[in-house]
Homo-oligomer: A and B are copies of this chain.
Amino acid sequence: MEKANLFSNIPNALPEEIFENLLEHKHFKLERIVSCGQSTPPGDWYDQDKNEWIILLKGCAGLLFEDEPHLIEMHSGDYIHIPAHKKHRVEWTDEKQTTVWLALHYK
């Protein structure tokens, strides 16, 4: 049996976010997301056709939901459930260190 580490294999420079499938299944997808300062482009919203359970495990980030006034600040261990078509955006991610997320997408 081989183990791997969620915080390994992260490049020093991250010009773009990295999306990497850890597990793909007919009914769900488990994904690692690595960010460093990236955010959703101004005016854009994620509008996903799948539900998403997401946990931030390193770094920090700010999430905004279209129908809510306040930003949700995510720190290590924070998780949130985003129903399909709940419009949201990543306002900011930590610029000083990598931010590592684990996301479970499912219908």
Contact = CB atoms under 8 A, between A and B. Distances in A.
B2 A79 contact: no
Copies in the complex: 2
A27 interface: yes
Given A3-B80, A23-B81, A102-B102, 12 more contacts: A1-B63, A1-B80, A5-B77, A6-B79, A7-B77, A8-B77, A22-B53, A22-B79, A23-B104, A27-B28, A30-B53, A55-B102
- The bracket for how many chain A residues form the interface is 35 or more
A72 to B, nearest CB: 6
A1 B82 contact: yes
Contacts of A22: 53, 79
A4 B80 CA distance: 7
